[in-house]
Structure 1
Amino acid sequence: MKTNKSDQSVSFTASFGKVMRVIGHQRRLLAASVFFAAVSVILQLYIPMLFGDAIDYIAAKNRVDFAMVAAFMGRILLLTAIAATATWLMNIINNRLAYRTVQEIRSRAIRKIQRLPLSFLDANSEGDLVQRVIADVDQISDGLILGFTQFFSGLIMIVITIAFMFSRSRVISLMVLLLTPLSFFLARFISTHTYAMFNEMTRVRGQQTALVGEMIGGEKLVSAFAYQSRASRRFDAINRDLQQSTVRAIFYSSLANPGTRAVNAINYALVALVGAFTILQGGLTVGGLTILLTYTNQYTKPFNDLSMVYTELQNAMACAARVFYLIEAEPESEGVREELPPATGRVDIEHVNFSYSPDRPLIEDFDLHVSPGQTIAIVGPTGCGKTTLINLLMRFYDVNSGSIMVDGKDIRSVSRHSLRRSYGMVLQESWLRNASLRDNIALGKADASDEEIIAACKKAHSWDFIRRLPRKLDTIVHEDDLSQGQRQLLCISRVMLCMPPMLILDEATSSIDTRTEILIQVAFDQLMAGRTSFIVAHRLSTVRNADLILVMKDGHIVEQGRHEDLIAANGFYTRLYQAQFAGISI
């Protein structure tokens, strides 16, 4: 299973900074959230002052001023209602801010996936990428909603509380401030040691998602080879790893809340003790001490609240590290490229070297010159470089050295879009969208009319089964609704519709019955007339009429020529042919 740990080394601070830069794009919502947070906090902190003053009006024996107490209570109720409304509006804005932020992050991730080189996609499993874009972004959303609710109001509360406390007692306020760093140091110590645990947890969760995707996607093979018990054991092993890493991360991160509460409890007790002595000395009233004790609670509340959501925040930032690793991955290099004019089909490959990894050379010093309209068949044993050559022609990968030219232009000097637009491609593995048959067939020509689509389907012999469907071209298809052969016929119909100047057929008829294959071959012969065509084939019977057959072995062209000439040469091609038709070992 493919994994990548390089995205696990990003610190909490770095991930948080990246998320905050995305949040900065929602300046109006951010400003509104801060405004309502300030209103809510200021009112919440002003209300204790009113309570303290009201207490002073009832503290003396037989001197209770009921009128003033009632006036204070009326103001307290009004301000409480306003503070509650401000808090409600702040929460709504925070939710919208969080959802827009994760919407932007997810959109950026999807756009980046579409621009990433195949080498990146090959190095990361599909399930892990899905985990990053869906589940990890959801975790960021949960963390942001909790974090925003506590962060803005908490920061404002700390600043304003200190200001109010200094207005009542400088000595007690300084004492509270001096004890504050203990909470920071404690939270920092715990976070330093637990963030790596959350990174490990998200990594294992990605492995689990990848395995589930593999098992569901290959359900038929899993059942056919009785792999269920082994798959269950693999899942159980990953599940145990996930359980252990999750419990460890949550347990240690949860120590932050009781730790900060212990420090804050000491703070509260010292304020009560010093305040009591100050009252005895006449430097403070009972109402004043009540206000200071309330403010001490209010001051330490943000630390308690943040420590409570710190587990969620760490999980969110660990997920953010994985998502931003994807977003910040190096895309396919494009730069300023000219558009490739409509191609005539001349292809020149000169001294090309390529390997997927530096220690395993694959294609070495490869030369090929193709004239417009030629049909080039590429044959050879598995792993010889046939499909790799197709990947290089389409610039799914760039050559390590040498050059590939179309109509005299190095394909690295033209845009990938204009290059790929010049090719029609039918692969052995067909792909369909969860959409209508019309949308699937018109994938490369969105403005095609129904008449054009039907004509292409008739040429590709897919119209025979399409017309029997209840809604014909309007039928919505899913991957499992059609047979492999039917899916491949639809992919051939796409190419028939676009009529590109060059064709690439990679085992294009591998999943089609023999009768239909003969009909398709006739259609291909019509389609390939006057078009440069590259045919990758294992069944040598399908390439006998090619203008040139390239016989590849270990990344080299070992033979080339027409079918009759290669058979007469009695070389490697002959052995391949005999092995396929006469059962002779090569």
Structure 2
Amino acid sequence: MNSNLKQLFIYCKPYKRLYSLILCLNICIGILELTVPYILIKLIHTVSGDAAAGDKGSTFSRILFYSIFYLLISCMGFISRYKNQQCKNKFGLKICQTMRSDVYETVLGKGLDKAKDKRAGDVVTTLTQNIHTVERFLQTDFHEFTYQGFRFLGAVIFIGIMNWKLLLVSLTILPLSVWLTRITMRSISEISQSLADKNAVLTSSLIESYNGIKTIKSYLLNPLLVRSFAEETRCVKVEELKLEKRLSLLIPVNIFLNAFPYAACVLYGGYLTLQHQLDIGELLAMVSLMNLIVRPISTMPDIVAHLKKCEGILARVFELIPPAGQQFIAVTDETAQQDSLISMEIKGLSFNLEGQTILKDVSLSIDRPQLIALTGKSGSGKTTLVKLICGFYQFPEGTIEIFGQDNRSIPQNMLMQNISYVSQESFIFTTSLYENIRYGQLDASREEVLHAAKIAQVDQFAVKLPNQYETMVSNQTLSGGQRQRVAIARAFLKKAKILILDEPTSALDTVTEQKIIEALESLKREKIIILISHQVSTLLAADMILYLEHGNLHPLESYKELQQKDLHSLTHEKKEEVKRNATFI
């Protein structure tokens, strides 16, 4: 069995009771359908027998009985089908809801090196189109195997009891059906997966164009991107036509598989009737039963086609979900929050990204709360280093120990409970200003949220908003400096013992920056604070300065020592400020 189908069955396992109910309803519907030919035989025998005997009263009462029995069977069939479809819809929805949650959780939990292997369009397409296709398969064709199989088996037994020769004639189409199915189903899975890939590329282009609309307009890239989008659309169309061409072959195949068995059985059944080996009631019942044989045979290509299509889709879905049973190594954090254990140690850390050496044999030991400034040229690897500490990237050489434990052995969600991280790109969620700050610690009280906002200087602009902290905000409605202050407030609110800030004051004015530095100085007695910065005021406030150069980390004793390093990454104005401040140190 295909590995992707095995993975799908693992998702079905928690809902085996619901599947068992669907299976029982399918069997019930099959039995009810097999009852109709039986009623037909009895009805014809009754009419012909009683007519010959001349007993009209008895004939009418029996016809009435069989008619009521038929109506009762039909009502039971309607109810069973209604309940069956309800259960199938519920089955597909529940499984795909779990699948979507797993994809989303896995994407958020992956290291950045793995998450960025997938463009945004891959994730969006998987969460929407791809899983929806799987959902439709689970609600329909997934159950057709058992339903049509039971109908087929019941009809074979029924016709076999009536006349075994007629059964052999009706089954002559089966080998031909299998052969036609194999011919028409070639490469459907590959084409389906390729189409999903092309759709993902198309979706990614739309997302990237929307996010980069200002750059596109600034550099007059509209014609180039329109041509690129048209080419991607053409690729999608080509794959869609390939798939439709394959699926279109099913139409003549289905027509042939429906017509041939009927023609053969009616011809042979008529011959047996003329030879008095089959009565008229059995002939009509046989024609009715042929539907139960022909339907499974003729739908076989459709079911297999949808299965192959689903296989291709599942291959994309399970690229984003780890194999079942894969688990992280759990650690306990009962004592990790104790101040006496606040520590971080980096040993022999080396890291390459896309063939380029970023860090070489970096080592660092921090055994107490303090404020550490990390500086160096642009592109020297400062941001990469802090992302490694946060567990966003996997590294092959060296170790990073947080509270005495290797951060690679700590689940991402547990690791980040102890780390607050403010990135260079201050992201704002489309919700209220208050909620944006509260996301730092969801169980925080309103007083704690407002206190964090105050020390991060958010209140300076919050009071000017229409609804103050309840105002809806987004990346587009706040300035760069305002976004930075919200991100800092979010980090201050989080009850983490390690605080990492990546150039958090680059868009702030001097007064606000100084107040943020003062707040950090008050926090350094209880947290390890790592601050990436080129700002002189920040470097002066640090207990330790780390200079990153050519992948090597150099701990510096003072700001004077930093002056001896190559500071070409600073602007001319900041160089002059360094020289002026040097005279006072």
Normalising by the smaller structure, the TM-score range is 0.7 to 0.9
Which residue in 2 is equivalent to 1:354?
351
Deviation at 1:541, TM superposition (A): 5.9
Query: Given that residues 433 and 440 in structure 1 are in contact (C-alpha distance below 8 angstroms), is that contact kept between their aligned partners in structure 2?
Result: yes
* SS of residue in 1 equivalent to 2:187: helix
RMSD: 3.0
Query: Given that residues 56 and 285 in structure 1 are in contact (C-alpha distance below 8 angstroms), is that contact kept between their aligned partners in structure 2?
Result: no
Deviation at 1:486, TM superposition (A): 1.9
TM-score (norm 2): 0.88
Q: Distance in 2 between matches of 1:156 and 1:27?
A: 19
Which 5+ residue runs of structure 1 have no aligned equivalent?
1-10
Which residue in 2 is equivalent to 1:557?
553
* SS of residue in 2 equivalent to 1:425: strand
Deviation at 1:133, TM superposition (A): 2.0
Using a 3 Å threshold, how does the CA distance of structure 1 residues 501 and 69 change in structure 2: closer, same or farther?
Answer: closer
Query: Given that residues 116 and 332 in structure 1 are in contact (C-alpha distance below 8 angstroms), is that contact kept between their aligned partners in structure 2?
Result: no
Query: Given that residues 347 and 407 in structure 1 are in contact (C-alpha distance below 8 angstroms), is that contact kept between their aligned partners in structure 2?
Result: yes
* SS of residue in 1 equivalent to 2:374: strand
Which residue in 2 is equivalent to 1:3?
none
Q: Distance in 1 between matches of 2:399 and 2:368?
A: 18
> What does the per-residue CA deviation read over 1:491-529, in whole Å, with 9 as the maximum and x for residues that have no partner?
111222236433211011223344433333333333335
Counterpart among 357, 366, 379 of residue 383 in structure 1 = 379
Q: Distance in 2 between matches of 1:15 and 1:286?
A: 50
Which residue in 2 is equivalent to 1:174?
168
Deviation at 1:291, TM superposition (A): 1.6
Query: Given that residues 428 and 436 in structure 2 are in contact (C-alpha distance below 8 angstroms), is that contact kept between their aligned partners in structure 1?
Result: yes
Query: Given that residues 190 and 256 in structure 1 are in contact (C-alpha distance below 8 angstroms), is that contact kept between their aligned partners in structure 2?
Result: yes
* SS of residue in 2 equivalent to 1:275: helix
* SS of residue in 1 equivalent to 2:295: helix
Q: Distance in 2 between matches of 1:242 and 1:540?
A: 54
The residue identity in structure 2 corresponding to 1:402 is G
- The question of 1:73 aligning with 2:67 is answered yes
Q: Distance in 2 between matches of 1:188 and 1:538?
A: 66
Using a 3 Å threshold, how does the CA distance of structure 1 residues 327 and 145 change in structure 2: closer, same or farther?
Answer: same
Query: Given that residues 559 and 566 in structure 1 are in contact (C-alpha distance below 8 angstroms), is that contact kept between their aligned partners in structure 2?
Result: no
Which residue in 2 is equivalent to 1:525?
521
Which residue in 1 is equivalent to 2:31?
42
Which residue in 2 is equivalent to 1:107?
101
Using a 3 Å threshold, how does the CA distance of structure 1 residues 77 and 424 change in structure 2: closer, same or farther?
Answer: closer
- The question of 1:251 aligning with 2:262 is answered no
* SS of residue in 2 equivalent to 1:325: coil
Counterpart among 423, 426, 451 of residue 427 in structure 1 = 423
Query: Could you tell which deviates more after superposition, 387-396 or 532-541?
Result: 532-541
Q: Percent identity?
A: 24
Deviation at 1:320, TM superposition (A): 2.2
Counterpart among 211, 228, 231 of residue 217 in structure 1 = 211
- Map 1:203-214 onto structure 2 (within 5 A): 203-214=197-208
Query: Given that residues 116 and 330 in structure 1 are in contact (C-alpha distance below 8 angstroms), is that contact kept between their aligned partners in structure 2?
Result: no
Q: Distance in 2 between matches of 1:205 and 1:29?
A: 33
Query: Given that residues 181 and 300 in structure 2 are in contact (C-alpha distance below 8 angstroms), is that contact kept between their aligned partners in structure 1?
Result: no
Using a 3 Å threshold, how does the CA distance of structure 1 residues 108 and 434 change in structure 2: closer, same or farther?
Answer: same
* SS of residue in 2 equivalent to 1:298: helix
Which residue in 2 is equivalent to 1:94?
88
* SS of residue in 1 equivalent to 2:530: strand
Which residue in 2 is equivalent to 1:51?
40
Query: Given that residues 250 and 311 in structure 1 are in contact (C-alpha distance below 8 angstroms), is that contact kept between their aligned partners in structure 2?
Result: no
* SS of residue in 2 equivalent to 1:26: helix
Which 5+ residue runs of structure 2 have no aligned equivalent?
577-585
The residue identity in structure 1 corresponding to 2:523 is L
Q: Distance in 2 between matches of 1:566 and 1:203?
A: 50
Q: Distance in 2 between matches of 1:333 and 1:55?
A: 65
- The question of 1:473 aligning with 2:462 is answered no
Using a 3 Å threshold, how does the CA distance of structure 1 residues 147 and 415 change in structure 2: closer, same or farther?
Answer: closer
Deviation at 1:579, TM superposition (A): 5.0
Which residue in 1 is equivalent to 2:135?
141
Q: Distance in 1 between matches of 2:308 and 2:417?
A: 45
Question: Number of aligned pairs?
Answer: 568
- The question of 1:324 aligning with 2:321 is answered no
Q: Distance in 1 between matches of 2:339 and 2:179?
A: 66
Deviation at 1:466, TM superposition (A): 2.1
- The question of 1:492 aligning with 2:488 is answered yes
TM-score (norm 1): 0.88
Deviation at 1:450, TM superposition (A): 1.9
Which residue in 1 is equivalent to 2:539?
543
Query: Given that residues 373 and 539 in structure 2 are in contact (C-alpha distance below 8 angstroms), is that contact kept between their aligned partners in structure 1?
Result: yes
Q: Distance in 2 between matches of 1:374 and 1:89?
A: 65
The residue identity in structure 2 corresponding to 1:33 is I
- The question of 1:404 aligning with 2:400 is answered yes
Query: Could you tell which deviates more after superposition, 110-119 or 452-461?
Result: 110-119
Query: Given that residues 150 and 306 in structure 1 are in contact (C-alpha distance below 8 angstroms), is that contact kept between their aligned partners in structure 2?
Result: no
Which residue in 1 is equivalent to 2:152?
158
Q: Distance in 1 between matches of 2:571 and 2:430?
A: 43
Deviation at 1:580, TM superposition (A): 6.1
- Map 1:456-471 onto structure 2 (within 5 A): 456-471=452-467
Deviation at 1:396, TM superposition (A): 2.2
- The question of 1:272 aligning with 2:266 is answered yes
Q: Distance in 2 between matches of 1:81 and 1:17?
A: 38
